[in-house]
Structures are given as structure tokens and as C-alpha cells.
């Protein structure tokens, strides 16, 4: 069993608190990433989608996982279980310092998560307090104008990594 903590960073212009629409433990937020088989090293061709509100029973039936599938190359079974409560929004201070914010913890057995894909369903707040909801980051950036603060807002240079957590 290895735990992987999804860490995100971005350049935030006049924005702070980048996170999933329903908060870091949003049960409906879809996480997309590829999986690398721990047995043969094969990486899935397509991204896998997991969310807190969708579970499947384990092969032995003793627990539930958020994903259970076999490697298409070597047929080894692997599972991914999400562990809520470890995520925090990415603040402007962290972004300016080039730091990453933890988003979600994944308990992976037989697989290693790789290549997280930013999609839709994000929110952020301007430094003047204007809330921006349903942000789509699938294009790699977000740009708007904060009329209340009379300034442009932007999210760019999206970065993500999975850190091993003991």
C-alpha cells in the first residue's frame, strides 16, 4: 500500500483559494489521471476518473474502493481509494512562492497515479472577494475581469504532481 498526495500549483493573478467547486473534499469532483502498473510499468493510454461519491466493492468483498481494474498488459489487479480530509486550497501566497497545495490523498495498491489532468469544476476568489465559480481549467488557463476589484484575474501555468506519503 502506497499513499500518493496530489499536489497542485499555478500562477494566480489577483486570485486566491483555488480548489474544487465544492471544496477540497467535494464528493462530486472528478479527478482525472493515468495509472502506471506497479507490476509491469505499463501506463494506461486514457485517463481514469475517480470521485469520492463513486465506489466499487473490492475483489474480496471486504472493503470498497473508488477504482478497481486490471492492467491491460499484465492483468494484475489494482485499486485506488481516495482519503478525504487532507486537501487545502491553493492560496495566492503559496502560488507566488512557487509552492504546491495538497488536494487529495490516494491509497493505491498495484498502481501509481501519474499525469493529473486539470478539467472543469474549480472555484477561486479574487483578492477583492469576488467569487469565481465553475472554472474550466481544461484549456490550461482561466482569464476574467473582476469588476468589483477593477482588475484582471488569471490562472495559468498549471502544475500537478503526486508525492509519496508514508
pLDDT in tens, the chain (166 residues): 799 999 999 999 999 999 999 999 999 999 999 999 999 999 999 999 999 999 998 766 678 899 999 999 999 999 999 999 999 999 999 999 999 999 999 999 999 999 999 999 999 999 999 999 999 999 999 999 999 999 999 999 999 999 999 8
Number of Cβ within 10 Å of residue 48's Cβ equals: 16
> Which H or E run includes 94?
helix 92-96
pLDDT at residue 1, as a whole number: 75
Number of Cβ within 10 Å of residue 148's Cβ equals: 9
Could you give the dihedral angle defined by the CA atoms of residues 2, 50, 55 and 88, in that order, rounded to the nearest 10 degrees?
70
> Which H or E run includes 96?
helix 92-96
pLDDT at residue 105, as a whole number: 98
pLDDT at residue 57, as a whole number: 83
Q: How does DSSP assign 10-72, residue by residue? A: EEEESEEEEEETT-TT-TTPPEEEEEEETTT-PBPSS-EEE-TT--EE-TTSSSEESEEEE-T
Task: Give φ, ψ of 84 to 5 degrees.
Answer: -75, 165
Query: Strand pairing partners for 13?
Result: 154
pLDDT at residue 62, as a whole number: 72
Biggest distance spanned by C-alpha atoms of the chain: 57
pLDDT at residue 45, as a whole number: 95
Amino acid at each position: 500500500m502506497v499513499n500518493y498526495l496530489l499536489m497542485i500549483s499555478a500562477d494566480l493573478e489577483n486570485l486566491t483559494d483555488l480548489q474544487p467547486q465544492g471544496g477540497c473534499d467535494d464528493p462530486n469532483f472528478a479527478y482525472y489521471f493515468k495509472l502506471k502498473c506497479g507490476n509491469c510499468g505499463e501506463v494506461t493510454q486514457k485517463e481514469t476518473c475517480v470521485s469520492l461519491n463513486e465506489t466499487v466493492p473490492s475483489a474480496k468483498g471486504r472493503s470498497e474502493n473508488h477504482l478497481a481494474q486490471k492492467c491491460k498488459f499484465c492483468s494484475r489487479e489494482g485499486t485506488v481509494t481516495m482519503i478525504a480530509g487532507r486537501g487545502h486550497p491553493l492560496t495566492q501566497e503559496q502560488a507566488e512562492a512557487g509552492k504546491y497545495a495538497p488536494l487529495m490523498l490516494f491509497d493505491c495498491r498495484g498502481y501509481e497515479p501519474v499525469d493529473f489532468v486539470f478539467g472543469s469544476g474549480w472555484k477561486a476568489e479574487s483578492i477583492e472577494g469576488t467569487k469565481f465559480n465553475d472554472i474550466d481549467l481544461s484549456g490550461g488557463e482561466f482569464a476574467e475581469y473582476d469588476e468589483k476589484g477593477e482588475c484582471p484575474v488569471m490562472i495559468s501555468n498549471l502544475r500537478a504532481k503526486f508525492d509519496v506519503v508514508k
